[in-house]
Amino acid sequence: MSGSFDTTQLRHVAEQIAAGNVGAFDQAAPGVSKVLGPAALAGGFGEVMLYCAIGVWVLAARSFFTFGRRKDVDGAS
């Protein structure tokens, strides 16, 4: 294999890694560090989790400002 991927190979390797087969990248690109596949997967997962956490906080803040705090909860019944 030359030093680059074509579109079909790249898509296949990406599907394999997304399915949890981190060894697929090592097989597709010999000579690349064995740590690269798991590190890329873990880094991507960490970024997605950070994005989700920020999204939850933004939605919670918008909900708080939109609906406000109820002062008379006991008297509503």
Q: Rounded CA gap, 28 and 2, in Å?
A: 11
pLDDT tens, residue by residue, 28-55: 666 666 677 677 777 888 899 999 999 9
Helices 36-67 + 7-18 axis angle, to 10:
70
Q: Is the pLDDT of residue 1 over 50?
A: no
Query: What pTM was estimated for this model as a whole?
Result: 0.51
**What is residue 11's predicted lDDT score, i.e. its pLDDT?**
84
